[in-house]
Amino acid sequence: MAIMAVLGSGIMATALSFPMSENGHEVRLVGTHLDREIIDSIQKTGIHPNLGLKVNPGVSAYQLEDAPTAFAGADVVMCGVNSFGIEWIAEQFKTLLRPGQKLLCITKGMRADADGTLHLLPEIIQNALPKELVEQVSWNAVVGPSIAGEVAVHHDTAVVFCGHNQDDLEYLADLFRTDYYHVWTSLDFVGHETGAATKNIYAFAAGFAAGLLKAQGKENDRYVMYNYGSAIFAQGQKEVRQFVTFMGGIPETADGLGGVGDMFVTSMGGRNVKAGTFVGQGIPFSQVRSVHMKGVTLEGVAAISVIGKALRALTSRGVIQESDFPLCRFLYSVVEEDAPLKMPWDKFFADLR
Amino acid sequence: MAIMAVLGSGIMATALSFPMSENGHEVRLVGTHLDREIIDSIQKTGIHPNLGLKVNPGVSAYQLEDAPTAFAGADVVMCGVNSFGIEWIAEQFKTLLRPGQKLLCITKGMRADADGTLHLLPEIIQNALPKELVEQVSWNAVVGPSIAGEVAVHHDTAVVFCGHNQDDLEYLADLFRTDYYHVWTSLDFVGHETGAATKNIYAFAAGFAAGLLKAQGKENDRYVMYNYGSAIFAQGQKEVRQFVTFMGGIPETADGLGGVGDMFVTSMGGRNVKAGTFVGQGIPFSQVRSVHMKGVTLEGVAAISVIGKALRALTSRGVIQESDFPLCRFLYSVVEEDAPLKMPWDKFFADLR
């Protein structure tokens, strides 16, 4: 039996407790300071309120102050916060992480330096830890199309565990594999983490079509706007592939679960798509953010802000071309400069042969 | 002003008359023997009954016996039938095609020899014509995510015109380009035609999830099966790319409008998805074909039958490996052998590094 301690008790982290606990392992969910009510609920009733489901036997919940107890003796440690919490969790891990533990990260996103240099999130954690500890911990991540609740209710889900050591990956994969949770492994850590971070950018654009139709009173028409959405999806796929290559990953990683598969699931719905729908209706994004979706966590929009800004810096340094990543750049102008929704079609598919 | 004669007056062929006629060109729609009522309707009322829309001024309709009149003096000729009609149209073109005409093919699919050698559909037409005429006609095709009605009602649509001569492609693209119909050009004719033909295979599988949910009475549950659908989409994308490469196209063509974009739109609905949904419900495909969707044209299923059979022949000849195209092979066993819906997950993503 293995023990996993999870910091962050959101729906995705909690969903992953299902396959692991069903394999006879112990999962300790530790809430952040924002998760007090979730932990309370699980401790009293077993129910995760946002997921709307009861956790399995073998899964226990801890408030943040009890984190040291939960992490003591854990074989596996999960970074289970969202991208906004990565600097916070890095601080926590300074005292919680122990040599020999295998870390599994489900947080997706990027950070950028002022000169545009992009960093994957596990790197942000590593930078906050003593160098020795970084080398004594195994760094891995879960990537692939996963709607949390679907995992929890045992619907088939296919993911990739990526990392730097094949033995560690096999060990981790074996903890989680069930007849519905299908796990592949890959040593292309950078490629997979880049795909997972950048696909969120394009999910925002997946909402535009519904908004455009709504603005014209055509949302119930016989003909909707799948052609529009598919063209954006195709350009998004091209840019994800370019990001994977740019960051040093294997280009083909963008084709699989961590790229196009993940982008597909993210485009099917969720908060970023909803935010994009408001923009499609003609509402400037600053207003979407401050009124229509006030206080809502929008990881895709955050990715656009961070990465879009970095692209400008990278361009001015001559690292990339002005013509690279036209859709991401356009989305940045929508999100940060309230640009209207005039899709720059003529800049797309420039590399077509 | 240019003149285009179209043989086949289905919804896609007719939809493409919209951008071209709006650019001031003349379009002559010629019905097949199966299109009598469509042509009658357009001649009398201007309305295409299946599309549910009135064609533009500048678009005229001809019954099959008037095809010679329609084709006389046409600059552009469109092959507008579906894949089942390709041998028929090849016969018609023997007498209708003239040297110097530019052919634009919208029919997608493949044919295979007994030894598994695969052929794109324009090749089937070419094989029926005198060699001299083949060389005197320009061979081009339209590829990309296009729901016909969306083109007709002026929703943004992005496509690729592919062919063998850049000047011809530019000429054709200019006839069609409008502010909503965005046309790229590509000399990767084989890659684009292969992507367009093989993406239909995977649209059938896109219907499984809805059927599986329905069979369990879960179609209105909070958690559906997007993870499942996304994993299949990702494996489908990998196989489309492999088909493009195998046929001698540029692998990257599978990423763009003619590959992943086209697969996305095809997965959003339609007859093949509906057929897949019945299979998801647990109905053997032979029964879907003979009862639930009797008489319905299923181009995706036809592609599975033709290509899946060819894969077996190619494997026995040692041209491809047993492990190649596992999803297409599985779909073949579903369609031709009534195999139950046990997804062979362990065969997917075998090339992951």
Kindly state the DSSP code that residue A348 receives in the 8-state scheme.
T
Using a CB-CB cut-off of 8 Å, the residues of chain B touching A349 are 158, 160, 184, 256-257
Q: Please indicate if any CB of chain A lies within 8 Å of the CB of B350.
A: no
Report how far residue B134's alpha carbon sits from residue B204's, in angstroms, rounded to the nearest whole number.
34
The share of chain B scoring above pLDDT 70, in percent, equals 100
Does the domain at A191-352 match CATH 1.10.1040.10? Answer given as yes
Report how far residue B225's alpha carbon sits from residue A180's, in angstroms, rounded to the nearest whole number.
12
A274 is annotated as contributing to ligand binding: no
Kindly state the DSSP code that residue A315 receives in the 8-state scheme.
H
* Per-residue model confidence (pLDDT) at position A351: 86
Asked if B257 and A151 come within 8 Å (Cβ–Cβ), the reply is no
Report how far residue A119's alpha carbon sits from residue A127's, in angstroms, rounded to the nearest whole number.
11
Report ipTM (2 d.p.): 0.96
Identify the three-state secondary structure at position B262: helix
* Per-residue model confidence (pLDDT) at position B336: 98
Asked if A233 and B261 come within 8 Å (Cβ–Cβ), the reply is yes
Report how far residue B259's alpha carbon sits from residue A234's, in angstroms, rounded to the nearest whole number.
8
Segment B113-117 shows an average pLDDT of 98
Asked if A234 and B264 come within 8 Å (Cβ–Cβ), the reply is yes
A108 is annotated as contributing to ligand binding: yes
For residue A83, give both structure tokens.
């991208």
SS (H, E, C) B298-313: CHHHHHHHHHHHHHHH
The share of chain A scoring above pLDDT 90, in percent, equals 97
- CATH of A3-187, picked from 3.30.565.10, 3.40.50.720, 1.10.30.50, 1.10.287.130, is 3.40.50.720
Using a CB-CB cut-off of 8 Å, the residues of chain A touching B181 are none
The C-alpha angle with vertex A98 and arms to A95 and A100, in degrees rounded to 5, equals: 160
Q: What is the pLDDT of residues B184-194, one digit of tens each?
A: 999 999 999 99
Q: What is the pLDDT of residues B130-162, one digit of tens each?
A: 999 999 999 999 999 999 999 999 999 999 999
Residues 209-248 of A with CB under 8 A from B: 221-231, 233-234, 237-238, 241
Asked if B182 and A262 come within 8 Å (Cβ–Cβ), the reply is no
Asked if A259 and B231 come within 8 Å (Cβ–Cβ), the reply is no
Q: pTM higher than 0.90, yes or no?
A: yes
* Per-residue model confidence (pLDDT) at position A240: 97
Using a CB-CB cut-off of 8 Å, the residues of chain A touching B241 are 255
So which residues of A are the catalytic ones?
199
CA distance A242 to chain B (A): 11
| Chain region(s) in chain B for CATH 1.10.1040.10 | 191-352
Identify the three-state secondary structure at position A139: strand
Taking CA atoms, what residue in B is nearest to A232?
A: B261
Segment B321-328 shows an average pLDDT of 98
* Per-residue model confidence (pLDDT) at position B219: 87
Report how far residue A334's alpha carbon sits from residue A327's, in angstroms, rounded to the nearest whole number.
11
